[in-house]
Amino acid sequence: MDILSLLGLFLSVVFAALAWRRTRGLPEASVIRWLVPLFVVAAVPLGIFAWWGQYTPAGRRAFDEMDGLYPLAAGVLTLLLTATAALVGIWARRQAGR
């Protein structure tokens, strides 16, 4: 389970970087230009919370047994938000004709 969580956090970072790179070339007036960074900025605190809740002693004490699902769900939501940002960035770049 720990390896899957670490893989999810690593993929979140990769997706966030991919999303940022894909939206750099879009026109300034594009809604996607601010929507994708908003997804990534929303994912950052969730990722920090997931890391804290799963990998620090204080987090494991605060979220023991079934409460441990909260940090796990935050990690999954982080991955979903960054993956969505990356896919929207790729889609917008293709629509722009590049």
- Identify the residue with better confidence: 51 or 21: 51
pLDDT digits (tens, 9 = 90+) for 49-84: 999 998 889 988 888 877 888 998 999 999 999 999
| 16-21 LR contacts (CB < 8 Å, sep 24+) | 16/40, 16/43, 16/82, 16/85, 16/86, 18/86, 18/89, 18/90, 19/82, 19/85, 19/86, 19/88, 19/89, 20/89, 21/89
